[in-house]
A and B are shown apart, each in its own frame.
Chain A
Amino acid sequence: MLRRAASTTFRRHLITSHSRRPIASSSRFIGTLVIAEHEGGSLTNSSLSSVEAASKFLCKDNSLSLLLAGTGPSLQEAAAKAASCHSSISQVLVADSDKFKYPLAEPWAKLVHLVQQQGDYSHIVTASSSFGKNILPRAAALLDVSPITDVIEISESRTFVRPIYAGNALCTIRYTGADPCMLTIRATSFPVGSTAPDSKTSAAPIHQVDLSTFGEDGKSRHIKQTSQDSERPDLGSARVVITGGRALKSAENFKMIEKLAEKLGAAVGATRAAVDAGYIPNELQVGQTGKIVAPELYMAFGVSGAIQHIAGMRDSKVIVAVNKDADAPIFQVADYGLVGDLFEIIPELLEKLPNKK
């Protein structure tokens, strides 16, 4: 009996009198669920951003539940860390099963559906990562609601701003449908506050999700994952990003960009042209269909500045463009432009820039 109570969600706890952590307030209870990703025993940066975004819905009567799934000790470690990582998290739900070993859409969407049935949340939030974009719309279809992608601003609990047309227009929308209101948020628009040790005294409780009704395995299997091991900072959250375009001419020349990035402690990005030409792997593409970045400093070398590329970096604080074509559209968004040959300018920069702190 006790185990069952522990495995149901927070909301049920309020209803049952056997709650282990009674809550004083009994007024209308609104819950937000954040679907989080974890890696190597910690929440990913974009998941922390979604917690940050979700905490914007919070007023005194609602709660924030974090859903983590996977299997093995790294899941438990991530759950334990998550429980005390943000003061607004009121509980951590853990789904531990081999079914969630890989981020397959079918079991994950089913899990979100199941957790929603148990917890009756008003909002479900996740980051606009390839993981979030893959599973959230599928879960929304199972719940028969319209999801909202890539939210950059939360005006009210059901009013959001999101970019359309590659960020060339901003659309303010109001969700008028049934609960839950499901959204993916753009991580760069909800930066995680200085993650100093939280003032929070106790960790949020961790509950296991009851998977007894989960059912059979799905129709897809994970075969393999090939990832680019990199010691450089993550492109999505780096403070400085150095990007190269087609003008680098070869994968060999692209190493100059990497050298410059090393010197500044920066992440490396690329345009579609550079990726298509094989200079650099596709997961480093910046733009409408690649990564969206908003670093403090964005330096573009040999990048013309097509609409689709600008969409991925226009919110950077300081933009530097180096291009030999003085009419390149990139100069219209650059704070500092330098017209010249990048094969001369990069070596000079390598010499004159100070080393990273």
Chain B
Amino acid sequence: MKIMVSIKRVVDYAVKIRVKSDKSGVETKNVKMSMNPFCEIGLEEALRIKESGIGSEVIAVSMGPVQCVDTLRTGLAMGADRAIHVDAPSTLNPLSVAKILKALVDLEKPGLLILGKQAIDDDCNQTGQMVAGLLNWPQGTFASKVVLDKEKNVATVDREVDGGLETLCLDLPAVITTDLRLNQPRYATLPNIMKAKSKPIKKMTPEELKVELRSDIDVIQVTEPPKRKAGVILSSVDELVDKLKNEAHVI
């Protein structure tokens, strides 16, 4: 079974972002970029499924500007077999990404499509659900455990939901989006980074995939959130209890 993993290049999770002074967006020039943490977890899961003998091939895909190739190389160094880069503007919305993914699925016919539950830049949490809808595949979102049964052709997925955990059984092929607790992604070793340089990355365009990119959301402005006013450091528990009672009136 082929497994396709969608990965996104985003501003590194540890970077303190800066809003541009013209309010057009967030500064991404000269900022450290990395693979979205949830996508790393997705790729790790695909690699583990392959290593367990159920998966045959792991294909990493990414859409966006040419720098996405670096992120795909990272994925190949972790252990993906090959990669596909769809050359597109960096402002793709989740609906366009989902349409491109659907076209790639139609082309490659994987048995499982894995994505992160959300990208840490736009915080949308939409793409996996949307591509599952377009493909009419079942979805297992916010997965913290995935067990595949090859004979019955189903996936059993534990999902992190508001009230606790929910277990679903999905007919394959299916779409799975990863939560933080699914696994601990591996580091790419130096030999694997060297090896990744010779693995193939196929370049495609949305036109070749017959996907029409459409934007139905305009960004009017991006601003900084209101700053909290500076607080005070207290010296004792008594002072804290007093402040909470008589100044903040919260207890």
Contact = CB atoms under 8 A, between A and B. Distances in A.
Interface in B123-137: 123-127, 129-134, 137
18 contacts: A104-B168, A131-B161, A140-B130, A141-B132, A149-B125, A165-B120, A167-B225, A171-B222, A174-B220, A177-B216, A223-B167, A226-B165, A228-B163, A240-B251, A276-B180, A276-B181, A283-B162, A349-B240
A226 B141 contact: no
B233 interface: yes
A221 B171 CA distance: 9
Interface residues of B, number: 79
A241 to B, nearest CB: 11
A290 to B, nearest CB: 9
Contacts of B218: 173-174, 176
Given A176-B218, A308-B13, A335 B231 contact: yes
B162 A131 contact: yes
A336 B141 contact: no
Interface in A296-322: 296-297, 307-308, 314, 317-320
A319 B231 contact: yes
A129 B143 CA distance: 15
Contacts of A178: 216
Contacts of A174: 217-218, 220
A176 B217 contact: yes
A293 interface: no
Interface string B211-251: 00001111111111100100111101110110111001011
B237 to A, nearest CB: 4
A3 interface: no
Contacts of B167: 222-226
A220 B138 contact: yes
Interface of B: 11, 13-14, 16-17, 19, 26, 93-95, 98, 117-118, 120-127, 129-134, 137-142, 144, 156, 159-171, 174, 179-181, 215-225, 228, 231-234, 236-238, 240-241, 243-245, 248, 250-251
Given A168-B17, A169-B223, A337-B233, A147 B126 contact: yes
A117 interface: no
A1 interface: no
B123 A166 contact: yes
Interface string A222-235: 11111110000000
Nearest to B180: A289
A141 B133 contact: yes
A173 to B, nearest CB: 5
Nearest to A44: B162
A319 B162 CA distance: 24
